[in-house]
Amino acid sequence: MAKKPSRQSAPSVSKAVTAERAARLYRLLTLVGNKPQTREALRRRLKLDVRGFYRDLEMLRAAGIELPLVGGRYALEGSVADVISRLPFPDPHLNLGEAIQLAKGRTKAHSKLKRQIADIQGSKSSR
Which residue segments constitute the domains of the chain, with CATH numbers given?
A: 17-86 (1.10.10.10), 92-127 (no CATH)
User: What is the percentage of the chain residues whose pLDDT exceeds 90?
Assistant: 71
- pTM here? 0.74
| Residue 8: predicted pLDDT | 41
DSSP 16-30: ---HHHHHHHHHHHH
Task: Out of 1-5, 55-59, 101-105, pick the least confident.
Answer: 1-5
Residue by residue, DSSP assigns 71-95 as TTEE--SS-HHHHGGGS--------
- Binned at pLDDT 50, 70 and 90, residue 91 comes out as confident
pLDDT at 13: 52
State the pLDDT confidence band at 14, using cuts at 50, 70 and 90: very low
**What is the rounded CA–CA span in Å between residue 110 and residue 102?**
7
| Residue 45 CA from chain centroid, whole number | 21
Residues β-bridged to residue 70: 73
Is residue 37 classed as helix, strand or coil in its secondary structure?
Answer: strand
What is the pLDDT, as a whole number, of residue 83?
94
Does position 66 have pLDDT exceeding 50, yes or no?
Answer: yes
pLDDT of residue 15: 60
State the Cα–Cα distance between residues 14 and 68, nearest whole angstrom: 23
* Burial class of 101 by CB neighbour count within 10 A (0 to 12, 13 to 18, 19+): exposed
Lowest mean pLDDT among 5-14, 64-73, 88-97, 117-126: 5-14
